[in-house]
């Protein structure tokens, strides 16, 4: 039987931050822990993080990913030195990972990971997946996992990020730190299940950009012109500007079928551009020629109202149950780059409070990353610019 514990801190010293997170989560019972999942801002040394965690809990598996801030039971923080932890007791899980995972080879790499996980861990019923947020074909990742485990398996998780520059993000597992890796944790406790949902609250406007040349997750032309120049021109930027300049204002919207739009609370699903190579820009998923892409603007009232609606629906499906743990992925553009501090804390409180049990927030691990995995229309889906919640319940 799996049991979950969490802790978060804003600590300049990486090793001390690891110790503080573990003390908050586990007290002095480090030896009872079997799995440590860390999220840490880009200012931390990931080599020191995993080394210190392994020293304090030598019997535990240690995984980590970089982010642009964390959300824990203690609240939200977005400094360069944030750290959050979900600690797990129990052995009903398995881990697989790979390095050098990019958009062009994502299916093959993730398929191999999924095969290894299935072979090592019977009875996996949910998968926590973390990959690089830069040049990753996330549709291909979902397809690969489902080829091995079937479409009924629920995939939740995120893509790692930096401090919104789109330069490098980190993933760490098994004592190794990667810049373009991926890992998955398959939970196999038969008494647990996970509910997932995501929402963004942005609104599309203007005339769409038309994808006129693409290859996998790479857009080469928009409206018959070099993609990066056309995209930045629509944003009022220059082709010499970086992805970091485009991310806060450059969410691209794909139109959803009516039934999915009703469930989502929005007519569009959003995509982020986290890297470009000359005139070509890398999309977060497969992109077909002829696809129409709208620019968007945030609607703050809608962000709050859709958040409340999403949480209410999750609680309604759970009935009287309260989660034993919540994993949470938020787009970094919804953090301090979108809201001032007061509104950001109000948004986090509005998502956490409905899950409280006897006045206590459940163990909570949240991050500001580049993208989020959650079901939509009953299918595993990759999202951008959303708040995505993954509430784990005991049957």
Give the pLDDT confidence score for residue 298 in this predicted structure.
Answer: 84
The SS3 of residue 310 is helix
Which tokens in the block code for residue 200? 């963004």
- Phi, psi (deg, nearest 5) at residue 36: -125, 120
Nearest CA to 139 out of 355, 312, 308, 373 is that of 373
Give the pLDDT confidence score for residue 164 in this predicted structure.
Answer: 74
Any idea what the Cα angle at residue 282 is, between residues 231 and 115, rounded to 5°?
Answer: 155
Per-residue pLDDT of the chain (395 residues), as tens digits, is 999 999 999 999 999 999 999 999 999 889 899 999 999 999 999 999 999 999 999 999 999 999 999 999 998 888 889 999 999 999 999 999 999 999 999 999 999 999 999 999 999 999 999 999 999 999 999 999 999 999 999 999 999 999 878 889 999 998 999 999 999 999 999 999 999 999 998 999 999 999 999 999 999 999 999 999 999 999 999 999 998 889 888 999 999 999 999 999 999 999 999 889 999 999 999 999 999 999 999 888 888 899 999 999 999 999 999 999 999 999 877 755 555 555 678 888 889 999 999 999 999 999 999 999 999 999 999 999 999 999 999 99
Q: What ranges in the chain are assigned the alpha helix state H?
A: 14-26, 46-56, 106-120, 138-149, 227-234, 243-246, 258-264, 300-318, 341-352
Give the pLDDT confidence score for residue 235 in this predicted structure.
Answer: 95
Q: What is the pTM of this model?
A: 0.94
Query: b/e map of 37-55 (b: 16 or more CB within 10 Å)?
Result: bbbbbbebebeebbbbbbe
Give the pLDDT confidence score for residue 351 in this predicted structure.
Answer: 92
Nearest CA to 103 out of 219, 268, 248 is that of 219
Give the pLDDT confidence score for residue 348 in this predicted structure.
Answer: 86
Give the pLDDT confidence score for residue 247 in this predicted structure.
Answer: 85
Say which DSSP state 378 is in: T
Give the pLDDT confidence score for residue 331 in this predicted structure.
Answer: 85
- Tokens 């470009």 belong to which residue? 276
In the chain, domain spans: 3-199+304-394, 202-296
């Amino acid at each position: 039987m799996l049991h979950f514990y969490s802790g978060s801190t804003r600590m300049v010293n990486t090793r001390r931050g690891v110790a503080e997170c573990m003390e908050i989560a586990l007290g002095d019972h480090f030896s009872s822990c079997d799995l440590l999942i860390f999220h840490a801002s880009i200012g931390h040394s990931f080599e020191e993080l995993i080394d210190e965690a392994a020293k304090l809990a030598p019997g535990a598996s240690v995984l980590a990913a970089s982010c642009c801030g964390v959300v824990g039971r203690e609240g939200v923080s977005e400094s360069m030195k944030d750290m959050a932890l979900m600690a797990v007791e129990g052995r009903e899980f398995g881990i697989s990972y790979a390095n050098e995972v990019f958009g062009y080879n994502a299916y093959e790499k993730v398929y191999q990971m999924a095969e290894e996980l299935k072979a090592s861990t019977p009875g996996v019923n949910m998968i926590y997946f973390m990959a690089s947020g830069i040049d990753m074909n996330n549709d291909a990742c979902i397809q690969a996992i489902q080829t091995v485990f079937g479409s009924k398996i629920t995939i939740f998780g995120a893509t790692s990020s930096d401090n919104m520059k789109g330069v490098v993000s980190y993933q760490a597992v098994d004592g190794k730190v990667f810049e373009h890796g991926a890992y998955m944790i398959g939970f196999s406790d038969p008494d647990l299940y996970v509910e997932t949902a995501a929402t963004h609250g942005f609104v599309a406007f203007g005339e769409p950009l038309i994808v006129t040349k693409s290859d996998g997750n790479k857009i080469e032309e928009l409206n018959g012109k070099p993609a990066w120049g056309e995209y930045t021109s629509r944003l009022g930027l220059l082709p010499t500007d970086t992805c970091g300049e485009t991310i806060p204002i450059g969410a691209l919207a794909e139109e959803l079928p009516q039934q999915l739009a009703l469930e989502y609370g929005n007519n569009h699903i959003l995509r982020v551009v986290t890297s470009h190579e000359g005139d070509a820009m890398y999309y977060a998923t497969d992109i077909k020629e002829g696809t129409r892409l709208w620019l968007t603007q945030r609607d703050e009232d809608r962000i709050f109202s859709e958040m409340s609606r999403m949480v209410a629906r999750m609680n309604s499906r759970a009935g009287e149950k309260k989660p034993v743990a919540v994993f949470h992925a938020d787009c970094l553009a919804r953090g301090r780059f979108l809201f001032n501090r007061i509104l950001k804390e109000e948004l986090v409180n509005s998502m956490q409070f409905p899950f409280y049990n006897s006045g206590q927030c459940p163990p909570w691990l949240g991050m500001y990353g580049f993208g989020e995995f959650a079901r939509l229309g009953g299918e595993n889906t990759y999202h951008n610019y959303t708040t995505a919640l993954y509430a784990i319940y005991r049957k």
